[in-house]
Structure 1
C-alpha cells in the first residue's frame, strides 16, 4: 500500500493524457481497478461504483485492489 499513497482519484472515467478531462476529484485513491490494455485506474470510494460502470477497459468480473486507507475506518 505504501507505493500508492500519493495516488489521486482518476474516476469515474479514467481518461489518460489529453482525454483526462472530467476528472475533477482530488481525493486520494483507495482502490485500483484493473483494465484491459490500459494502466490500472486509481479511484476513491465515491467513484469506485461509477468507474466500474463507465470507465473504459474495465475487466469483468472486476479486479479491484486496495491501495490505501478508507477514510473514517479504524485499522
Structure 2
C-alpha cells in the first residue's frame, strides 16, 4: 500500500498530458483502477464512482486496488 503514498487523484477522467482536463483534484489517491491499454487510474474516494463510469479504458467488471488509506477512517 505504500508504493503510491504521495500520488494525487487523477479522477474522474484520467487524462494524460495535454488532455488532463478535469484532473485538478489535489486529494491523495486511495484507489487504483485498472484500464485496458492505459496506465492505471489513481483516484480518491470521491472520484472512484465517476472514474468507473466516465474514464476511458476501464475494465468491466472493474478491477480496483486499494493503494492508500481513506482520510478520516481509523485503521
Matched length:
75
Structure 1: gaps of 5 or more residues: none
C-alpha distance in 1 between matches for 2:4 and 2:26:
15
Q: Give 1 or 2: higher helix fraction.
A: 1
- Correspondence for 2:41: 41
Deviation, 1:33, is 0.1
C-alpha distance in 2 between matches for 1:21 and 1:49:
18
Q: CA RMSD in A?
A: 0.5
Partner SS state of residue 2, structure 1:
coil
Runs of 4+ in structure 1 off by over 2 angstroms are none
Superimposed CA distance per residue, residues 1-39 of structure 1 (whole angstroms, 9 cap, x where no aligned partner): 111000100000000111012212000000000000000
Structure 2: gaps of 5 or more residues: none
TM-score by length of 1: 0.97
